[in-house]
Each structure stands twice: as structure tokens, then as C-alpha cells.
Structure 1
């Protein structure tokens, strides 16, 4: 179980980005998170994945704090994955950063081996999201925070990406926190929905 307990965070003194938020995601569950812009959805996602440290409250995985070093079993997928990649590295090195990717998983996600010789800016948004997924879905990954990952994609690419991701997560029992402004998308993919600030 992944839990946020009364989380609070501020980027500037006296200007809270998140205030006393609690949420739970069970293994194999897809929880949809919505809310108006600026309410703290991305901040919550980054806290759950250990990319930020909470200034109040705590994040727990099976009742224990998230590991502060080494591999994190909660992986964060950003809306613009190119921002999480070193622009000077070719895709092969980007993939290897998180360990050798599973060739079967890469093939299933439609990763073209020719991409490995390119730089991130030479791939489309959909291709970059697939690279991010392969990198995030290591054997020790237990939860994914998917922050508007299909927002930049057209409807067909969006549906294809989520079909693959939901199938993989169902097979592996992974929990997903899906952050999106798209109510129709969350209605299709989430087993439960939470509105931040609602």
C-alpha cells in the first residue's frame, strides 16, 4: 500500500503548494487524481515518488518510509519526459541509466531499436513516453505516478499508451496514481477517483 498521510509542502515560505493531503493507492489499483490547475497535483505526485521530501506529514510504502537512496519502488512519469532525460545522452544511455531494460518489455511497448542511437529531442512525445515507461518499469517497481502522461498525445496514441500501461500493470499488480484534467480519460481508466481541493 502506498499512502500519503497529511502531506504538506511549500516552495516559498507562507505559500503552501499542498496542505494536509492524504491518499492511498493499493497494489493493482488505478486511482484517478483531478483538480484545478495550481492545486498541487504534481507536487503530490512528486512527493509520493520521493522526488520531493514532505515538509509536513509522511509518505509510507507498506507502513515504512520510502527509501531515500538507491532505486525507488514508486516511479514518477512526467507529462514532458524529455525534461527527465539528459539531452546530451543518446536514448541507449538514457535507458541504461535505470539498469538494463527488459528486451521483451521494450518490444511490447514498441521501442524501435533504431531509437537507441538518437537523442531525446529527435523522438516524438509518444516515443519518449514509451522510453520513459521502459525505464520506469523495472522488476522492483511497485507503483507508478503518471502525471498527465498522455496529455500531449493525439487520441489514438493516448488510447494505445493507456491500453498497454493498464495491461502491464494488471499483469504485474502495480498500483497507478493517474493525474489528469481529462475527466473522460479518468472515467475510462480509474477504478476510483479523487479530486484534490474538492
Structure 2
């Protein structure tokens, strides 16, 4: 009599690829048309169309800020030579140059538009991130040392901290506070147009 053939049977709860037998049997098929898990849990879904609309709105806002700053710098160029001042936690960088040359603009991926001032055959360069500037403030105030007037244009960030300061430079060959009448008059026209400054 031929021996009976027996097939191996996996014990209850034994694990195979994809989980135990019991787990696989208990799984429920996903309903056709059911919402994704993220939506069922109340998390918002970002569609490709919504993401593009947000990107377009951000680009339009940045373009408007760039145009406003370029107009301001064109007006400020009438002041002639200005002192660029950047202050960090441990250093102060100053450079004197003119704003007469129209600044260049260029985009940097993930960082947005930058405005570049380049004069003196490349001996002076300054790059300003449009995204970093939230407002511009104008003031005439006494110097901390010497007491002479300073005519200041400050580019401020979102938190109110300085991004870049531009000070009308005194006449070449003269000492602090000795401005040309043309420079003082040009700064006065800036104050007449922009007041104490503007928000971007």
C-alpha cells in the first residue's frame, strides 16, 4: 500500500512574507475611491496646482520688492558717494563707493533675487538679498563720535535688525561731517519722497 503524501501545514500564527497567516486573512481591501490616509487623519493635501500657485505668488511678491528697491537705489544714487556699512557680531565692514552705476539683479536657486552694486572695476562689490529686506528707514542723526550729522539709509530685516546701512559720505579730502551741498540736497529729496522710510 502506497504511503500517503502529506503536505506541510504552517502552524497558526507562523510568519511568512507579508505577515502572519492570521494577519493576512484579517486585512481588509481598500475601498475603491477611499481618501488617502493623510486626508482621513485630517492633514491637508497639497496638490501640484496649489504648490505652483504659491510659488507664483511668492515670485510676484519678490519681483515687486525688487522693483521698489531698485527705484529707491536709483533715487539714492543722486547722493553720490555713500559709505556701505555691514555689522556682524564681531566685526564692522565699511566701504565707500558711488551708487551711480545701476545695480544688477540675479537669482540664486532657493535663495531668491540678489541686487549687486559693483564699482571701481570690481574693487567694490556688495550683494543684497531681496528676501532679507523687510523695510527701509531714513534718518538724520548725530554721530556717536564727533557729534556731526549722519544722513543714513538703513535696510532692515524682518526682525528689525540691520541688513545694510548706507551713509552719505563726506566730500573727498574733507573730514567727517563735511558734506557737499549737492549730497545734502539729494538726501533731502529722498526724505521728501519716502519720509522716514517704507515697508516692503
TM range (shorter): under 0.3
- Normalised TM-score (structure 1): 0.21
Greater C-alpha radius of gyration: 2
RCO comparison, higher one (Cα < 8 Å, 6+):
1
| TM-score calculated relative to the size of structure 2 | 0.21
Choose between structure 1 and 2: higher strand proportion: 2
